[in-house]
């Protein structure tokens, strides 16, 4: 009997603490006490996450060759260490090559748009269990990052920064239900809003003018916020894959597939300085070229005056 009282007391105390946290957070709405708890925990936990991340990397690089190496270990002991060394190097080269290609793409997009960027790696991905899409990256206020900056990858817009600790930053991705981005159709000037609905491969584009013409294959770029924050202008977002016309409504909506694959992010960069000139559509990837049949030209010899 005494025991069940104790059990109930423990449960009641735990629930009370949790409710207090909820109340504090609701009252201060992300500032004050709960904010400082978050900042402290970010600073404590993110080093662990970083080392776990590098551990995961080595496991992934290693995983495919693990079996062969185990056989080799049984056979020749010294060959094993050499083998392992070489194979790990090889796996790393592939990984590095991929990373270099991603960096190249990032530099290209930053150069075209004359953005000033800080490159970063994704260290933790929100599990997506509650359909919120956030990631944390390994740069922070020490690198000059503040909240509400655009985050891009080599292919286009990724999201925006929402909260910053010393060396980690939380990024809300495009697919996050809280995300809303001012956007326009590349090549036309139709304006609208891109919003996330919790799915990584599908965004919603709401166009203000219900009479405007929008087709599948139209590409969407950011429209840009005041002073380039949170979103700089002219960053590619995605491609229209379906138009939903709803007569009677004041706006028209379309489904947009983002250029960036949001579920497998690795290298990204944060735009710390917006360009002075709006790059308009210059950052969009080139349109796929439709081959046009070229008429076969047959050269007929022109009659030349015969020499006599």
Partner 1 sequence: MNIYKYFALISTIFIAVIFQPTFLARLSLPGATPDLVIVMVCCWAVTKGPEVGAIAGFLAGFLIDVAPPGAHLMGIASIILALIGYAIGIVGGGPSRSFSRPLVISGVGATTFFLFRTISGVLVGNDISLYNFSINFLTQGIYAAALAIFVYPGVTFLDKKLGPVSRSDELRMK
Residues near partner 1, by CB under 8 A: 3, 6-7, 10-11, 14-15, 17-26, 34, 37-38, 41-42, 45-46, 48-49, 52-53, 56, 123-132, 134-136, 162-163, 165, 168, 170-172, 177, 197-199, 263-264
CB of 230 to partner 1, least distance (A): 15
Distance CA 186, CA 238 (A): 10
Phi–psi pair at 19, nearest 5 degrees: -65, -40
Distance CA 201, CA 257 (A): 6
Q: Between 28 and 81, whose beta carbon lies closer to partner 1?
A: 28
Q: Between 129 and 292, whose beta carbon lies closer to partner 1?
A: 129
Work out the angle at residue 220's Cα, subtended by the Cα atoms of residues 214 and 225, and round it to the nearest 5 degrees. Answer: 120
CB of 23 to partner 1, least distance (A): 8
Q: Between 46 and 150, whose beta carbon lies closer to partner 1?
A: 46
Q: Between 11 and 86, whose beta carbon lies closer to partner 1?
A: 11
SS (H, E, C) 208-240: CCCCCCCCCCCEEEECCCHHHCCCCCCCEEEEE
Q: Between 52 and 287, whose beta carbon lies closer to partner 1?
A: 52
- The kind and range of the H/E element at 87 are helix 77-113
CB of 234 to partner 1, least distance (A): 27
Neighbours of 227 (CB within 10 A): 8
Distance CA 151, CA 269 (A): 6
Q: Which two tokens stand for residue 101?
A: 């290609």
Distance CA 181, CA 196 (A): 9
Residues whose CB falls within 8 Å of the CB of residue 248, separated by 6 or more in sequence, listed in order? none
Comparing C-alpha atoms, which of 54, 266, 240 is closest to residue 151? Answer: 266
CB of 118 to partner 1, least distance (A): 18
CB of 60 to partner 1, least distance (A): 8
CB of 42 to partner 1, least distance (A): 5
Q: Between 7 and 287, whose beta carbon lies closer to partner 1?
A: 7
């Amino acid at each position: 009997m005494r025991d069940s009282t104790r059990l109930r007391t423990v449960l009641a105390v735990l629930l009370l603490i949790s409710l207090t946290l909820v109340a504090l957070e609701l009252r201060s709405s992300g500032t004050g006490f709960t904010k400082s708890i978050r900042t402290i925990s970010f600073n404590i936990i993110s080093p662990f996450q970083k080392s776990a991340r590098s551990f995961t990397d080595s496991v992934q690089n290693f995983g495919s060759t693990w079996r062969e190496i185990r056989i080799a270990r049984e056979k020749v002991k010294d060959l094993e260490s050499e083998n392992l060394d070489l194979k790990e190097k090889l796996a790393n080269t592939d990984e590095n090559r991929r990373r270099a290609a991603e960096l190249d793409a990032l530099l290209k997009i930053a150069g075209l748009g004359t953005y000033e960027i800080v490159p970063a790696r994704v260290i933790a991905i929100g599990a997506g269990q509650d359909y919120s899409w956030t990631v944390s990256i390994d740069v922070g206020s020490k690198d000059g990052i503040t909240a509400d900056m655009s985050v891009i990858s080599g292919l286009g817009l990724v999201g925006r920064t929402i909260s910053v600790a010393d060396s980690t930053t939380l990024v809300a991705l495009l697919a996050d239900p809280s995300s809303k981005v001012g956007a326009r159709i590349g090549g036309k000037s139709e304006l609208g809003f891109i919003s996330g609905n919790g799915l990584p491969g599908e965004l919603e584009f709401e166009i203000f003018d219900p009479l405007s013409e929008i087709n599948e294959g139209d590409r969407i770029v950011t429209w840009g916020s005041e002073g380039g924050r949170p979103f700089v202008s002219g960053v590619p977002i995605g491609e229209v894959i379906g138009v939903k016309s709803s007569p009677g409504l004041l706006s028209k909506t379309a489904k947009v597939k983002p250029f960036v694959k949001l579920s497998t992010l690795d290298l990204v960069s944060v735009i710390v300085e917006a360009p002075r000139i709006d790059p308009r559509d210059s950052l969009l990837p080139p349109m796929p070229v439709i081959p046009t049949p070229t008429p076969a030209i047959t050269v007929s010899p022109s009659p030349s005056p015969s020499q006599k």
